A and B are shown apart, each in its own frame.
Chain A
C-alpha cells in the first residue's frame, strides 16, 4: 500500500509536470531588441520610433547599420537602399551615368536590356511595396492614439505611402493598391487608379500636415510639391494632361517659406555645391530641401545613400580625401551627353589672350609644356619652339595658358643665351636661374622685364559651376564601360563640409551628406515646363525662376536667359544640369518621349556604342518574376 502511495504520488507529479509544460509552448520573444505592437504603439513618443522607420526604410537598409538584419532579402543589402536603386533605375539607365561593375543585372540597366528577374528592378519593387505595408501598419495602429501629434504622424505616413505609390506608378505602372493590413493576396490596380489614389491622398493630407516641421520630416509643402510632380507626369501616366494643376501646386510651393540656397558657405563662387556637402542639413541648403533622406557617418550608416554615391563615383587618379572618404569603389562615371549640356564650361584661351590686346613677342615660355627635354630622342636636350607671350606694354608680357604639373622658364628668341628662372621661388627672376615649378592648371602668366618679376594667377573657368566633373586621367569618350578612366567622373556629392572638413566618420567609410529627394529648384523647373506645356501661369515668372537657378550656377547673371530661350528642350536640358544624379532623369526622358526612341541617343543606349532606340515597353519596368509567382492575381507588364 505504501508502495502504491509512492507510485501514485510519482504519477501525479509527472502528470502535473507534463501539463505545466504544455503552457511552455507559448513562448514570447525575450530578446531586448524585440517589441510587441503594444510596446510600440503605447504612446506617441514610442510611435515616433515607428514613424522614424517609415523614413529610414527609404534611407537605410536594415536595423543594424551599415549592413545586417536587412529589410529586404535576396539581394546584397547595400544594393537595396532606396536612393541607390533610384540612381540605378533613373540615372544609370540614361545618358547621365555608366557603371563598370559586374554585379548581376547592373550592366543591363545602362544597356537597356534588363529582364523581369533583374535584381535591381526587383528590389526597388520590394522596397516600395514594403514601404506601403509599413505605412499601412503604422496608420492602422497609430489611429488609436489620442494625441494630436499622432495625427500628424499619420498624415506623414500617408505622405510616405503616397510617395511610394508615386514611385511605383512611375516604375511599374500597374501594381496592387493596398491601404490596410491584410493577408489576402491583392489584385492589380491600373496606373490611373493608383494616380487617383495618390492625388486624393495628397489633397486630403495637405491640411493635416504641419505648416512646417522639424528637419527631416515633411510638411504640407511636401504634399504640394509631390502633387506638382504627379501632375507634371499625368499625361504620360493617365493619358490626361494636368499641367494647370501642376502650375497651381507649383505656385503653392513657390509661395511657401522654402527658398533657394544662396549661401556660398565655402566661398568657392557658387551656392550650388553646398547642397551636396556633408553639412547640408545646416549650411543653408536645408532651406531648399522639401523632402530629404538623412544620412550620418556614425548614426545612420548604409552602403547605399550618399555613402554609395560618393564612393561609387570615385576612382582613377581622384584623391578620395578631397571628397572626405577613404577610397573609391571605382564604378560610376557620366557620358559626354551630360558633360556637353553645360555651356562654356571650358576656359576659352584664344578669347582671353586676344582680350590682352598685345602682340606676340620674342619672349616666351619653355618647359614641360613644350616638350622640354629630348623630344627627338636623339640624346641632346632640345625643345620645340617657345610659347610666345604677348607684349601688352613695353617690357610687360602676359599669356593665358594651361599648364601641366612640371617646370618652365622664360626665354628669349628660342635661345638659351637669354633666359630667366627663379632660384628662391620668390617671384623674382634671376638670369639663368632655377626652373620654376608649377602645378597643373590654367594660368595668367605675367612677366615684367623691367623689374624682373613674374606672376602666375590661376584662372577659374567662368560658366556653369554645376558642372562638377573630374577629368584628370579620364577620357570624355567611352569605348569600354568597365574602364573607370573612360568617361568623366562626377564630384557633385562630397563628404566634406563647408569648412572643408571630412564628415563625422573618421574612418572615411560612411558619409554624412543628406540627399534631397524633392528640392525647391525642381519645382521651379516643373513650373516652367508646365507653363510651356500649356498649364498657364506666367512665362515671366518661369524665366525669373530659371534665371534664379542660373545666377546661382554661374555666380552671376552671365548665364541668364530670356523668355525666347525658354523652350521645352531647354527646360529638359536645364533639368539635366540642375538635377543630374538626383534620380530624375529617366522620368524626364520618358515625359519627352526620349527614353526609348531614337529622338535622343546617348553612348551605349541600347548597348550600342553610339546608342540606338529600344522597344518602348522599356518605359516601364517589369514586375519581379518572383512577385508574380507569389501572387497569381498579377499580370506582367507588356513586353516582359
Chain B
C-alpha cells in the first residue's frame, strides 16, 4: 500500500516533467520459479491502451515517456508495476500468484485451499457465470459444469429450475441437490404459490457457487446432501472505501413455436367429411379462423434492476443490496415481480479473534399466474370459432352449450381466452433468511476456533384463486369461486463446531473439525374454498407438520508437505421421520489425493498442477419423505367424504399405512479423478470417473395389503447404480494485448440402472385414457424407462393403427406384450462455452447438447385421431394434433394405441443457450466504469424431436409452457 502511494506520488511529481519526452524501454521477463524467459506476458502502460507482449524469448520493447508506469501481467502470476524513469533496460522477474494457488474453496463447515481439495468439486465465481437476464440463481451455472444439468420447469418467468447432479439416484425421493446459502441449508421444497425456492436470492448478490459432486466431498453435510451440494456464497462487505454497483436490463421474451394442430380450414374439411358427423355436428362449426395459440401467447417485457453498496461503515465491512425484477410471461396474464434486499456485516473483534458474519436477506415476490389450462385447451379448441359470441351466457366468450343444461357440456373443452381472462390467480411470498455466524479463535488456545452458526429461514405465501362467474363450466349453478391459501414454512438451524488447525514444521498439516447440527422444519398450511363453504362441506383446511434433523459430524484433513492429502469424515444423522430404532445413520467417507505436480520429478514448466484423487463416501437420503410414517395414525375424513348411517353423516377415521422399518436410503460413491493445469495454465480441467451404488432405495411401493393399511407405502425396496465419466477442459488458445479467447468444454456420460427391484413400479401418467402409465421402474433398466407396445409399421413406414407386435407370442395383445423402449435420460451431456474479448468488447456464447434422451410426445399421442374430433354427445368439437394427417388414426379408444412405441421420440438436441456481447468503458467518467451488453437467450435448438421443446424433465411432454426466446439489453455501472 505504501509503495503504491509512493509510486503515485512520484508519478504526480514527475508527470509534468516527462510528458514531452518519449523513450524506449526494453528487457526480458523471466519466471521466478525456473528462471526461464516468459513469452506472451502483457506489457501495458498504465492508464493507456498502449502496450505490447513479450516474444518467444521473453523479450519486449515499448515506447513510453518518463514517469509512465509499466504493468507486467500474466494470468496466474502476480502483476508487477515499474515506473519508467529512463532506464534503458528493465528486466522483470514475475512469480506465480500464490493467491490463485491458495484460492479458497468452501467445503462443508470450513474451507480449504483449492490445492488441498480431495473431492470432486467445481468452483464457479461471478465472472464465470452465465450472463444475461438471469432471474434464477440456478441458471448461472447451466451448461458450465460436467455432470450438472439445469433444466427449467417451463417457460414461465421466475419458474423453478431442476438441477440434477450426476443423474437420478433415487426413485421417488427428491433428486435435487442440497443448496447451502452462506451456511444455511435451504428448503428446496418451497411453499405453495412459490415458483422457485431460490427466488430468495438475487443472482447479482452471488459471489460464487461451489458444486460438490462426489460423496467424499458431500458426506460432511449428511443426509440432505445425497444428491450433491451447491454452496452459494453471497458477496460480502470489504474493508475498503465504498463502492457502488448498479445494473439494469430490459428484456423482450418472445414465444417462438406453436404446437401443430389442425388449422381452421383443415378442421372444417375433416369435420364436414367425418363419418360420424350428421347435420347437427356440422352445424356446430363456426365461420372464423382462429389460431387459439396465437390468442394466448404474447411477446412479453421484463426488467431487472439492482443496486449494491459495499465498503467499510463505521469500521465494519458491510454490503447491502436491493433488486427488483418484473417480468411478464409469454402466456398472457403471467407476471413475476420480485424485490430482494440484503445486508451483510462482517465485523472482527478482539484482535480478530472473533469474526462475526451477520446477514439478513428478504424477498417479496408477487406472482400472477396465467391459467395454464389454456395451453391444452388452445390445442384442442375448435379453430373455426371466434373468441367472442354476443349471445354467450359466459360474459360474451364463445362457449359450447349443452342445450339440456344450458351450461357448457360436461367434458367439453373451454375457450382458451376465457380461461386466461376469467381466472385470477395470484400469490405473494415473503421470505427471509437471517443468519449469524461467529468464529471465535480461542484466546487461550488459538489453534482452535469455535464456530456457532444459527439461522432461520421463513417463507410465507398467501395466494388466492378467483374464478369468474362468467367462466364456462358444466356446472349449471356455477357462480364463481374463490379459494385462498396461506402457507408458512419455518426452518431453524443451529450449528456449533470446533476447528483445530496445526502445522508441524510446515510438513504435517492437520485440520480437524467436530461439531453438532440441529435443524427443524415446520410447515403450517391453511386453505379456504368458497364453493365448499357454499354447499356446506369443509371449506377450511389445515395442514401441519414438523420434523427434526439432528447430526454430529467430524472431519480430519491431513496434508503431508502439500503432496499427500487425506480427508476423512464421519457424519451421524438422526431424523424424526424414522422410527427410533432406525433413526440414526452413520455415514463415513475417506479421500486421498496426491499432488503430483508438487513432486520434484515433474516438469513444472508445462505441468502447473496435476493431482490424482480417490474418494469413497456413504450418504443417507430421506429427502422428500413424509413425516410420521412409522406411527399408527388415523386420518379423519373431510365432510365431502363422510358416511351416512340413519339420517346422519359421520366423519370417518382411516388407519394410515405405516412402515415401522423404514431405513435410510444409502448411496456409496467411489470417485477417481485427476485435476490438471498445463502450459502456464492455458489448459486446465479435470477428469472424474464415478460409480454410485444406492442401497435400500426408498420408493412408494406395494405392500401386502392384508397386513398393512394401504396398498403402497414408502419402503426400502431396491438398489440402483449410477456410473459415469466427467471431463472438463478449459483452453485459452489466444491471449494477446487485444485479444483473449477462451473455450471451455465439458462432457458427462452417465448411466443409471436399477440393479435390484423385487417388483415393477408403473409410473409416468399420460393424458390419453385414464390412469395410463407409460413408464416403469424395473430391474436391469434405467429408472423411468418407457414401457410400451411395439408399434407395427407398414412398408411405407407409416404406423398401422392398433397393430402391435405380439412379443410373447400368445396371440393376445395385452399388458404382457409391453417392452422396455428407451429412457428419458441423456447418455451424454455436453457443454461448450466460449468467451472472446477484443479490447473493450467481449462476446460469450453458451451451448449445450444432450444425446440419447427420449421423450413421450403426449401432446400428439393423446389427441391425434379422427374420432377425437366429433363427440358422441354431439354438442362440441375438439381439435386434434396434425400428426393425424400423417398417421390417419381413426380411433384411439384402445388403450394400447396411447402406449405405442411410436410416440417415444428421440429428443437429443443441441442448444445455443445464450449469446452475449458487451462493451466496457473503464473510465467513462472519473472512477466510473460502465458496461453495456446485449444478450439473446434460448437462441436456437437443433433437434429431430417433433414436439415444442426436446428438453423435457421426466420425459413426458404434455402441454408444456414453451420456453421463450429472450432479447436483453443491459447496463452495469461501477462507481
Contacts and interface: CB of A to CB of B under 8 A. Distances in A.
A482 interface: yes
Interface in B194-249: none
Interface string B703-733: 1111111111000000000000000000000
Contacts of B543: 31
A133 B705 contact: yes
Interface in B49-80: none
Interface stretch (A74-82, A198-206, A353-361, A566-574): A74-82
A336 B378 CA distance: 40
Given A130-B705, A319-B404, A508-B476, A34 B633 contact: yes
A184 B707 contact: yes
Interface string B526-552: 000000000111000011111110100
A215 B711 contact: no
Contacts of A176: 704, 706
A34 B758 CA distance: 32
Contact of B641 (A24, A62, A319): A62
Given A55-B643, A216-B645, A625-B759, A107 B709 contact: no
Contact of B627 (A27, A105, A298): A27
B815 interface: yes
B131 interface: no
A321 B477 CA distance: 13
A299 B640 contact: yes
Interface string B290-317: 0000000000000000000000000000
A418 interface: no
Interface in B620-670: 627-628, 631-647, 649-655, 660
Main secondary structure on A side of the interface with B:
loop
Q: How large is the interface on A (under 10, 10 to 19, 20 to 34, 35 or more residues)?
A: 35 or more
A630 B704 contact: yes
B477 A507 contact: yes
Contact of B634 (A34, A69, A328): A34
Interface stretch (A96-104, A402-410, A520-528): A96-104
Contact of B474 (A35, A217, A326): A326
B649 to A, nearest CB: 4
Contact of B814 (A49, A115, A322, A629): A115
Contacts of A50: 634, 652-653
Contact of B496 (A14, A60, A116, A316): A14
Main secondary structure on B side of the interface with A:
loop
Interface stretch (B598-606, B890-898, B903-911): B890-898
A40 B895 contact: no
A629 B405 contact: no
B224 to A, nearest CB: 16
Contacts of A5: none
A27 B633 contact: no
Given A186-B707, A296-B649, A104 B771 contact: yes
Contacts, number: 350
A394 interface: no
Given A69-B635, A71-B710, A103 B476 contact: no
A72 B710 contact: yes
B770 interface: yes
B643 A629 contact: no
A629 B655 CA distance: 24
Given A27-B628, A76-B770, A216-B643, A485 B536 contact: no
Contacts of B550: 21-22, 24-25
B24 interface: no
B289 to A, nearest CB: 29
Among B474, B712, B815, the most chain A Cβ lie within 10 Å of the Cβ of B815
Contacts of A516: none
Contacts of B897: 102
B265 interface: no
A216 B712 CA distance: 29
A119 interface: yes
B710 A26 contact: no
Interface in B774-828: 812, 814-816
A126 B407 CA distance: 38
B925 interface: no
A88 interface: no
Interface string A117-153: 1110000011001101110010000000000000000
Contact of B709 (A101, A114, A130): A130
Interface in A13-53: 14, 17-18, 21-22, 24-37, 39-40, 46, 48-50, 52-53
B475 interface: yes
Among B405, B444, B494, B520, the most chain A Cβ lie within 10 Å of the Cβ of B405
Interface stretch (B34-42, B865-873, B948-956): B865-873
A627 interface: yes
A17 B496 CA distance: 11
B638 A64 contact: yes
A317 B544 contact: no
A629 B710 contact: no
Contact of A35 (B634, B647, B705): B634
Given A214-B645, A294-B643, A49 B650 contact: yes
Interface in A273-299: 281, 294, 296, 298-299
A154 to B, nearest CB: 16
B640 A64 contact: yes
Contacts of A39: 634
A367 interface: no
A217 B644 CA distance: 9
A61 B260 CA distance: 38
A631 B704 contact: yes
A499 interface: no
Given A37-B634, A300-B643, A627-B705, A327 B651 contact: no
Given A74-B762, A299-B642, A315-B872, A104 B893 contact: no
Contact of A629 (B544, B580, B758): B758
Nearest to B531: A507
Contact of A327 (B632, B712, B873): B873
A484 interface: yes
A537 interface: no
Contacts of B494: 17, 21
A236 interface: no
A300 B642 contact: yes
Contact of B643 (A52, A107, A509): A52
A481 B802 CA distance: 14
B258 interface: no
A59 B650 CA distance: 13
Contact of B712 (A74, A300, A325, A485): A74
Contacts of A281: 644
Contacts of A27: 546-548, 576, 627-628
A104 B773 contact: yes
A629 B759 contact: yes
Contacts of A316: 872-874
Among A75, A119, A299, the most chain B Cβ lie within 10 Å of the Cβ of A299
B279 interface: no
Nearest to A296: B644
A117 B652 CA distance: 31
Interface string A424-447: 000000000000000000000000
A317 B874 contact: yes
A329 B411 contact: yes
Contacts of B974: none
A30 B542 CA distance: 10
18 contacts: A32-B544, A33-B635, A49-B650, A52-B650, A52-B652, A52-B653, A56-B652, A79-B770, A103-B769, A215-B646, A300-B641, A300-B642, A300-B644, A506-B476, A507-B475, A507-B478, A508-B475, A626-B760
Kindly list the 3 A-B residue pairs having the minimum CB-CB distance in the complex, ordered from nearest: A327-B410, A629-B759, A65-B641
Interface of B: 276, 402, 404-405, 407, 409-411, 443-444, 474-478, 494, 496, 516, 518, 520, 535-537, 542-548, 550, 574-576, 580, 583, 627-628, 631-647, 649-655, 660, 700, 702-712, 758-760, 762, 768-773, 812, 814-816, 867, 871-874, 891-895, 897-899
